[in-house]
Structure 1
């Protein structure tokens, strides 16, 4: 029965990640991107892109530097206040993330064109730089291969950097929070843009519906081998008897780059199908509907944190713990997070009761004269 229950949960997690959460995420991104196209200097793409680049990086850097203070939101005991503030926080960093990506993406299109030469160069350069930085997992860390839970308050406000620094007032931490958006995120976008553009050029060009549908089907077809292969590659990486570590790193990078093609194809399929089918006669209304439904959907399924692209995931962490390489667990992780929050709350309540009990005991052990005087 346990194996059957685990299989059912795994299937439900897969459907939730690939059909529900990823759809909400892409809806928000496509809508937010379209809103910026319509209202932010639509006649001057270069200026619009530079503004997005500056604004997006500024917010992402500032959010990383202030994470020690924004994390205080979780200390609010009022559930409504915490819920509203935390979702406003997610919305701000989500829109900044879209702006950052739009700026980098459009600037590449503007200065290098949308040719196959530009696309291949973008793909190769992006993959090469990220491999050298040893954070290829960051490219892959997007829905549907990575699900973030809003119920995990411990990680909701945490932003990791390439240098692995802790949130403290130090030059190393500042450098980490500046370097990660400007360097790591930039080349992640370069990789995505190169592969996306290649699909636009060679995958049924001019037939948006067919191209988007084929891209979505291809991502679903890649899902099973990608998920299965992680159970082969992780033990291989953990096996320290492999003397040639360079081959291990190369094999791991090859798998991660191939796995990163899945979210790109998945996003492109949902995105293009929206362009073709979601109120195509009214672009303005279409992008606002997409933007609104995407964020509200993410909030309702308690996975709005999956929308923004934050922090950096290091390849060196793979195989050092029992955590899976690809995290699409939804229902099981949601249950574990809720149980954890309840345990923390219960322990805090017990601690408060112990403090009160200790104070009462101390008061009872005080001399009668002192107690009488203090109560006058």
Structure 2
């Protein structure tokens, strides 16, 4: 038994290391795609550039989500090579749309909320996400290594708003609301958590703020493993807590993980900025972007650069029973099959790749 536990712990540690390696390439893709748009998408007209990015992001992701069943059906019996090529093209478009959404909204917030403290927006975003039972979405954008399935690369999006209003919202409208509202609230959390760190984590010393971002990330990752161990050991006692107390612990835990995610991206963003500057601003962005995507595709993990839909927080009776590697390493690959009435070919799988 002890040998088995030791092997399991080594395997878990190895998975964490692999995930942390892959996240570098994911952040590299996001950084370069973001800055390519800054450089070439109407660089002298910031409002137009950000507006186009935001529109491409929301509309593009919505189109992919709505057409996912048709895409799966068309590719179900195709040749493996054709499936590989088409699916990777879709993954690339999907990832670019994700970056566009984040860039457009992030820059608009920078431009039009200067007088507003980032802490205010941070609290507002978190309150709304908690109210919608969707705080776990702050673990996006993609963070974690997610291997492409043979025919399951395309995500199924849960009807979050449909569930809130008793399934009276059509799937297509729900997809658009999830993308435009939930996705935007996640950006608000990330932008204002990032901005708060910029303002308070040694703003005049880039080296120290870089080091402290690393410290915060690894502290959160280690603490998450310890907390999961404690939660699982005391699950029988946790079940006896009042519902509101379990709900508060649940939301606080995922907010804690979200802060670790932001810290990770913050220090990796700085590293990739230095690398592209060393290569040269002209060729550096394109070459790093292409190399990152090719690397992820070559190891069948192109879905690591996309956020696989949105997830409705599960029951507070069960969340702490999840395998610790799913949460402690910021892996959130939850699958929950449930039929929705009125949708013949609708088999939602609540799946988030954070991952990133």
Q: Classify the TM-score, shorter chain.
A: 0.7 to 0.9
- Structure 1 residues 171 and 222, CA gap change in structure 2 (3 angstroms): closer
| Number of the residue aligned with 1:120 | 119
Q: What is the DSSP-based 3-state SS (H/G/I as helix, E as strand, rest coil) of the residue aligned with 1:102?
A: helix
Question: How far off its partner does 1:221 sit?
Answer: 2.4
Q: How does 1:219-234 map to 2 (within 5 A)?
A: 219-233=217-231
Q: How does 1:132-281 map to 2 (within 5 A)?
A: 132-144=131-143, 146-151=144-149, 153-154=151-152, 156-163=154-161, 172-233=170-231, 241-242=239-240, 244-280=242-278
Asked whether 1:12 is paired with 2:11, we answer no
**1:261 & 1:183 partners in 2: Cα distance?**
21
| Number of the residue aligned with 1:373 | none
Larger deviation: 237-246 or 210-219? 237-246
**1:285 & 1:10 partners in 2: Cα distance?**
38
TM-score, normalised to structure 1, is 0.78
TM-score, normalised to structure 2, is 0.82
Question: How far off its partner does 1:55 sit?
Answer: 0.9
Asked whether 1:130 is paired with 2:129, we answer yes
| Number of the residue aligned with 2:339 | none
Structure with bigger gyration radius: 1
- Structure 1 residues 47 and 141, CA gap change in structure 2 (3 angstroms): closer
| Number of the residue aligned with 1:86 | 87
**Structure holding more helix per residue:** 1
Question: How far off its partner does 1:225 sit?
Answer: 0.8
**1:287 & 1:212 partners in 2: Cα distance?**
21
* Contact 1:237/1:248, CA 8 A, preserved across alignment: no
Question: How far off its partner does 1:74 sit?
Answer: 4.5
Question: How far off its partner does 1:206 sit?
Answer: 4.2
* Contact 1:164/1:176, CA 8 A, preserved across alignment: yes
* Contact 1:205/1:211, CA 8 A, preserved across alignment: yes
Q: What is the DSSP-based 3-state SS (H/G/I as helix, E as strand, rest coil) of the residue aligned with 1:22?
A: helix
* Contact 1:122/1:193, CA 8 A, preserved across alignment: no
CA-atom RMSD in angstroms: 2.9
The one-character-per-residue Cα deviations of 1:203-234 (angstroms, maximum 9, x if unpaired) are 23244344334312321222111133234446
Q: What is the DSSP-based 3-state SS (H/G/I as helix, E as strand, rest coil) of the residue aligned with 1:156?
A: coil
| Total equivalences in the alignment | 324
The one-character-per-residue Cα deviations of 1:242-295 (angstroms, maximum 9, x if unpaired) are 362111111111111111101100001100122134334732322223311221
Question: How far off its partner does 1:7 sit?
Answer: 1.9
* Contact 2:95/2:306, CA 8 A, preserved across alignment: yes
| Number of the residue aligned with 1:359 | none
* Contact 1:150/1:156, CA 8 A, preserved across alignment: no
Larger deviation: 180-189 or 65-74? 65-74
